[in-house]
Amino acid sequence: MRWKKVALCVVVFSLMGSSLLFADAVNQKIRVWSNGKEMADGGYLIDGKAYIPAREAGGVVNWDGSGKVTILKPNVQIILYKGDDVFGNVNIGKLKFKVLSQVDSLTDSIAAVKVAITDPSGNLKDIQSQELGGSKKEDFWFSTSEFTYDFKESGKYRVGFYIKASKNVDYVLVSEKVITALD
């Protein structure tokens, strides 16, 4: 009688193990990389299709609670000007420049925009922001005033363009331009 219980347990555990392996094969966790960075939450491969969390795709993500998710990520071009000259790389030290951002394909109204710079250590410094009051502009330009920034160390600095979907939410990065500071 005892061997029947042991055999039954072996069969049950075997079935459980094989069903977990099958489920893992159908719902496989995958690593996802975007622009050289691994996405924190990764994704899943289900029936041969890759799925990633919407917030990892970039842009402003809005979920209305009824099953509808919208992602707002306009096309943004960032141009850096030192005087009348366009630049991308700099030497270590202080530099006076301005940032021009061209925004198009904006499908929803937004509350504000901002430009900020992140140093190689990850410290963020706001450059300039502007409230838009929820107006809907499909295409527009945003130019910062000329400002001085100290590139203290060599490495990659990221100038980011951020949008704020509504007044009570945080800014979300939608585009960035890299400045390389050289010794």
Per-residue model confidence as pLDDT tens digits over 58-93: 788 887 788 888 888 899 999 999 999 999 999 999
The model's confidence at residue 154, banded by pLDDT at 50, 70 and 90, is very high
pTM for this one?
0.77
DSSP H helices, the chain, are 2-26
**Residues 152, 92 contacting (CB under 8 angstroms):** yes
As a whole number of angstroms, the distance between CA 23 and CA 11 comes to 18
Residue 7: its pLDDT value, please? 56
Q: Out of 23-27, 112-116, 166-170, pick the least confident.
A: 23-27
**Residues 137, 106 contacting (CB under 8 angstroms):** yes
Terminus-to-terminus CA distance in the chain, angstroms? Answer: 80
Q: Is the pLDDT of residue 157 over 90?
A: yes
Give the three-class secondary structure for 67.
coil
What percent of the chain shows pLDDT beyond 70?
84
As a whole number of angstroms, the distance between CA 132 and CA 155 comes to 33
The model's confidence at residue 17, banded by pLDDT at 50, 70 and 90, is low
The residue type of 26 is: V
As a whole number of angstroms, the distance between CA 130 and CA 156 comes to 26
Q: Out of 95-99, 105-109, 122-126, pick the least confident.
A: 105-109
Residue 3: its pLDDT value, please? 63
As a whole number of angstroms, the distance between CA 123 and CA 158 comes to 10
Give the three-class secondary structure for 34.
strand
**Residues 130, 116 contacting (CB under 8 angstroms):** no
Q: Out of 25-39, 89-103, 142-156, 161-175, pick the least confident.
A: 25-39
